[in-house]
Amino acid sequence: MPTAANPSPVFQVNQITKTYQMGEVAVHALRGVSLELFQGELSVLLGASGSGKSTLLNILGGLDTPTQGQVLYQGKELSLDLSLATETELTDYRRFHVGFVFQFYNLIPSLTAAENVAVVTEIAKAPMTPSEALELVGLENRLNHFPAQLSGGEQQRVAIARAIAKNPDVLLCDEPTGALDSKTGIKVLEALAKINQELGTTTSIITHNAGIASMADRVIKLIDGQIVDIQQNDSRIQAQDLSW
Amino acid sequence: MRMQALAIAMVIVSGVAIFIMSLSTYDSLKETRDSYYRVHQFSDVFANLTRAPMSLAQRIEAIPGVAKVETRVVTYVNLDVPGFKDPVSGHMISLPRHQERQMNRLFLTQGRLVDPSRDNEIVISVEFAKAHQLELGDKIWAIINGRRQALTIVGKGMSPEYIYQIAPGAMFPDYQRYGVMWVARKPLASAYDMEGAFNNVTLKLNRNIEPKAIIEQLDNLLKPYGGTGAIDRHDQLSHRFLDEELKQLQNMATMFPIIFFAVAAFLLNVVVSRLISLQREQIAILKAFGYSNLAVGVHYSKLILMIVVMGIFIGTFLGIWMGTSMSELYSQFYSFPYLVYELKPWVLVSAGVVSIGVALVGTLYAVRKAIKLPPAEGMRPDQVAIYRPTVVERWGLQTLFSQPTRMILRHLERRPLKSLLTSLGISMAFGIMMVGGFQEGAINHMIDVQYKLSQREDMMVFFVEPSAEDALYSLKSLEGVQHTEGIRMVNARLRHEHRSYRTGVQGIEPDSELRQLLDANLSPIHIPKDGVVITDYLAQKLHLKLNDLMTIEVLDGKRPVLQVPVAGIVKEYVGLNAYMHRDTLNHLLKEGNVISGALLTVDEDAQQSLYAKLKNMPKVVGVVEQSAAIDGFNETMEETILFFTFISTLLGGSIAFGVVYNSMRIALSERHRELASLRVLGFRRSEVAFILLGEMALLTFIAIPLGFLIGYGLCAYLAFNFDSDLYRIPLVLGIDVYAFSALVVIVSSLISGSLIWRNLAHLDMVAVLKAKE
């Protein structure tokens, strides 16, 4: 039952498994994961490399489908069973509802910062302008720079601007600070927290860095493809106060 | 990589195939001809005259350098073939008593030679027999000196003199309406008052003797006997046509392979460069493990060699198949007793060496880069690509472009040379297609100009000897004849300074409707009262300009030598001719107002009965009807054109596919990360495909005008090379030629595009998120 303290779940994950065939070996990336993520929540999926956290995020983001189990998405305008959706449905789901931030930014090298954001706003339904998005991450003065002319932290903030510019329902971040030093990483996390608070975007960050966990509403720990612990933080620590 | 290697191999296949095809066909044709000439004793010098006593033969034999002399009686006759209504004419050549001594020996495919003592036996050319389905023992009728005589076919044969069997003045062979035949000398001589005399002589010269000096002495000897000027092999019609054909094959053997090998080298270069940059880490690791630079170089050279060797292997088989098919096509046009398909080892070896050499040179730079790469540097990622806004965007037009379009433009502009070479590669496909399509249109145009605009008669009638103009009235009175024009023709040698050319001078009527002279724009011009009008190519050949004085040495009758100013230059694609006002020509010849023949237009319905009447007119020696010959030619050409269209489509298509597919695969490999990222961001497959295919479409679009230019250039080069006194191929490229080449290139691109479309379905979105640039 959704209440003010416990809002409705955006994702309902029921007993999903994911098995990859790697040559002759079957890899069990997820072994029966169940989870709910709630509207406006900032969650951190914590786990070591190989724990299945990226696989889970990919399934939530509609990049992959589970081998077994069900993933229900309940957004403002769309309800979708991600485990049964077609390729076209998944593409549209990513296109209109999900914002992604990647470890290695994945910016288009031939486009400027503003254009990298415009790539997404051009195909979105009710986007902000590229300069608005870049202003939100503090890059209003770097609009016409190409990725090669930006630092790693700046590039990641462009990626965040690109992810939020479409006003997505969920923001999924895969090791957003993984390629950055801690000082730059904190700036990036500040931007993510700000978006989550100001826009109320449901945000999920995966990381192997336990130091980040205290900025989240909830911390979900994965080991060997299973959730071993879900911890509710009573209060979130400001990103600038984090350290690792 | 497999498909890419295959696409490159296909281009090499094409290059090797066309190289082997043209050179092996060239060798086959040339070797066959040479051995045929040798075994059947093809003469070195040929001369026609009016009549000379046999005793003159000894004087000719006495010319130093002359090895053998053979005199003959040769006549042009009208024939009656049972069941065939159209006029048929033929050359009737006397056979000596003893075949062994003869030059231009016959190759008998069936039957025997004629019995020298019998006057009713005949050997006919194989082609003529085939065209009329004539068998041994069948009879045909010849009008020999006005008398209709039945002749029994006792043999079918071929002669090295008539490998290309074409009626004098005709452009195409027409085996139904023109035949060559051989009869015993005695009856032919007695019919034409040639007993103890001859009107044709051929010579065999000693080795290494220049025919020029001999011809001069021979001409002097024959002059009093109505000699019309001796010629050597180079001017012998059948030999000339074969020579032109051989020249074309040589051209083909150089031009096309150069294009294919250049494209193959370019493709190998881009593909191997890309492969090396993808594998730089592996190269570095191998080197770190102690592999030498040489070992790395050899590794990549092996890969290149594998592709090339595959290309050479398949290309050789395809080339041999194409060569044999082409030789078979030639055997329809040319009359050879046998056609030995000749594939010389050096052709194979050079195809191999050239392919491998070109491939290695093409990839030298890329492989050198791999060799030079220091291991430590190789393990670091490649440098980040630097982009900037393109020129058009800097003009302030960027608002017109969506982000994907900007990606396309910037990617192209970052590597302008590669983009240009890719376009150039595609445009080569257009070029090759256009060359393939060019011939048909050009030949059709040539025929149209020659037989619709210029020679507009339905029929041409020759008289036994120049006749009074009254002859026209008797022709005109025949039922079915609509319009007649007299024409005066003399053999002549045209001279200017030290250059000369042997042809005919035609005296035509001032307001001739049936013989129209055309200016450079193909508009008719009037024949001036004074002076001579000559073919443009003849003017070039003799270095004549308007108003220059040309010397006409008439080779008939009283053989006057005339000085006449050039009063006009006309466009003609076939033969080299000189035209004069008929009255002026007759005045200069001082032979009164006579004509050599007549041009007729006739009522189609009355044509058949008209032929029959003309055949029986003793005055008439030959009737030529062009439209049937053209139809026959088109029929024969159809198969050839189909074969060439097939070949050029195969070749053009393979280049287009090779270039487009490889470029797209490389672009996909280079940009696979950003394309997958876009898919993650919610781009649809079609939107991602737009970036790749749009880039290719743009390059193809640029290639279209470039390709048309290159195609035009190649066709112009070919046409220029084919120019000869026999014919000039007009540089006419119809819209269909452009359209068809564009169609083939676009279809090849679409096929490559659809393969890439399938690749795009397998873009790994998950992997791209985890991988570093």
Helix (H) or strand (E) run with residue B90 in it: strand B88-95
pLDDT band at B772 (very low <50, low <70, confident <90, very high): low
Q: Which residues contact B349 (CB under 8 A, 6 or more apart)?
A: none
Cβ atoms B307, B9 nearer than 8 A: yes
What ipTM describes this predicted complex?
0.91
The percent of chain A in helix, strand and coil, each rounded to the nearest 5, is 30, 30, 40
Least confident window among B422-431, B560-569, B578-587: B422-431
Cα B539 to Cα B534: distance, rounded to the nearest angstrom: 7
Give me the pLDDT at residue B517, please: 93
- Cβ atoms of A7 and A171 within 8 Å: the answer is no
Contact at CB, B681 and A100, closer than 8 angstroms: yes
- Is A141 in CB contact (< 8 Å) with chain B? no
Stretch A160-168: mean pLDDT: 91
Q: Where are the domains of chain B?
A: 74-193, 459-624
Sign (positive or negative) of CA dihedral B387, B390, B396, B399: negative
Residue in B386, B403, B687 closest to A111 by CB = B403
Per DSSP bridges, beta strands A25-38 and A9-22 are: antiparallel
Number of H helices, E strands in chain B: 21, 22
Give the chain A residue whose CA is nearest to the CA of B768: A106
Q: Is the pLDDT of residue A4 over 60?
A: no
Q: How many residues does chain B have?
A: 773
A104 in contact with chain B, both atoms CB, cutoff 8 A: yes
CB A159 within 8 A of CB A106: yes
Distance CA B214, CA B231 (A): 10
Query: Long-range contact list for B474-478, CB < 8 A, 24+ apart?
Result: B475/B598, B475/B600, B478/B610, B478/B613, B478/B614
Size of interface A-B (CB pairs under 8 A): 92
Partners of B200 in beta bridges: B48, B72
Neighbours of B418 (CB within 10 A): 17
Phi, psi of A76 (to 5 degrees): -70, -40
Query: Nearest CA to CA, how far is B693 from chain A (Å)?
Result: 17
pLDDT of residue B381: 64
Q: Report, as an integer, the average pLDDT of B450-457.
A: 86
Cβ distance A118 to B388 less than 8 Å, yes or no, reads: no
Cβ proximity of B367 and B272 under 8 Å: yes
Residues of B in contact with A162 (CB under 8 A): 681
In a domain, A135, yes or no: yes
- For residues B92 and B69, what is the distance between their CA atoms, to the nearest angstrom? 19
Condensed to tens digits (0 to 9), the pLDDT of residues B265-317 reads 888 888 888 888 888 888 888 888 888 888 888 888 888 899 999 999 999 99
User: B403, B410, B672: best mutation site toward chain A, by most A Cβ within 10 Å?
Assistant: B403
Sequence-separated (6 or more) residues with CB below 8 Å from residue B139? B82, B150, B151, B152, B153
- The whole-number average pLDDT for the span B384-402 is 77
Contact A108 B678 (CB under 8 A): yes
Least confident stretch, A75-79, B120-124, B206-210, B507-511: A75-79
The per-residue pLDDT for range B259-270, each reduced to its tens digit, is: 888 888 888 888
Mean pLDDT throughout B62-86? 90
CATH code assigned at A139:
3.40.50.300
Instruction: Name residue A230's amino acid.
Output: I
Q: Does A26 touch chain B (CB under 8 A)?
A: no
What pLDDT is recorded for position B101? 62
Q: Which residues of A touch B404 (CB under 8 A)?
A: 119
pLDDT for res B490: 92
Residue A19 lies inside a defined structural domain of this protein: no
β-strand B45-53 against B231-232: which pairing, if any?
Answer: antiparallel
Helix (H) or strand (E) holding B33: helix B2-39
At A147, the pLDDT band (50, 70, 90 cuts) reads very high
Beta-carbon separation of A115 and B683 below 8 A: no
- Cβ atoms of B113 and B155 within 8 Å: the answer is yes
Residue ranges in B415-467 assigned as alpha helix (H): 416-448
Mean pLDDT lowest among A81-95, B103-117, B445-459: B445-459
Residues of A in contact with B681 (CB under 8 A): 94-95, 100, 119-120, 162
At A115 the pLDDT is: 94
Report the range of poorest mean pLDDT among B68-82, B243-257, B451-465, B606-620.
B606-620
Q: Are B89 and B98 in contact (CB under 8 A)?
A: no
What is the C-alpha separation between B525 and B531, in angstroms, rounded?
A: 14
Q: Give the ranges where B572-684 is alpha helix by DSSP (H).
A: 582-589, 607-615, 626-680
Averaged pLDDT score across all residues of chain B: 88
For an interface test with A, give the residue of B681, B683, B762, B766 to mutate (most A CBs within 10 A): B681
Nearest Cα residue to B21 out of B767, B548, B643: B643
Mean pLDDT of A42-53: 91
What is the dihedral angle through the alpha carbons of A111, A115, A116, A117, rounded to the nearest 10 degrees? Answer: 180
Residue of B nearest to A171 (CA): B681
Higher pLDDT, B622 or B693: B693
State the total domains in chain A. 1
Distance from the B434 Cα atom to the nearest Cα atom in chain A, whole angstroms: 37
pLDDT at B125: 95
* A64 near B CB under 8 A: yes
* A110:B410 CB<8 A: yes
Question: What is the token pair recorded at B53?
Answer: 């006593």
Chain B: residue nearest A59 by CA?
B766
Taking alpha carbons only, the member of B715, B714, B711, B717 closest to residue B739 is B711
- Does residue A33 form part of some domain? no
CA distance B698 to B409: 9
A58: contact with B, CB 8 A cutoff? yes
The per-residue pLDDT for range A185-207, each reduced to its tens digit, is 888 898 889 889 988 899 999 99
What pLDDT does B232 receive?
A: 93
Query: Strand B178-184 and strand B459-468: pairing?
Result: unpaired
Q: Which residue has better confidence, B586 or B166? A: B586
Amino acid in position B641: I
Q: Residues B565-576: what's their mean pLDDT? A: 92
* DSSP 3-state of B549: strand
B246 Cβ neighbours under 8 A, 6+ residues apart: B26, B29, B30
Say whether pLDDT at A1 is over 60: no
Nearest chain B CA: its distance from A7 CA (Å) = 27
Q: Please name which of B585, B651, B226, B734 lies closest in space to residue B429, comparing C-alpha atoms.
A: B651
Q: Which residue of B has its CA nearest to A97?
A: B682
Domain that holds residue A48: 40-68+93-241
Mean pLDDT of B116-123: 89
Phi-psi region of B466 (alpha: psi -120 to 50; beta: other; left: phi over 0): beta
Question: pLDDT tens, B654-667?
Answer: 888 988 898 888 88
| Pairwise CB contact (< 8 Å): A148 & B403 | no
Would an 8 Å CB–CB cutoff place A120 in contact with chain B? yes
Query: What pLDDT, on the 0 to 100 scale, is given for residue A3?
Result: 43
Interface of B with A (CB under 8 A): 384-389, 402-404, 406-407, 410-411, 414, 673-674, 677-685, 687, 765-766, 768-773
Query: Can you tell me the distance from the alpha carbon of B441 to that of B736, in angstroms, rounded to the nearest whole number?
Result: 9
Q: What is the pLDDT of residue A2?
A: 43
Q: Which one of A151-155, B169-173, B388-392 scores highest in mean pLDDT? A: A151-155
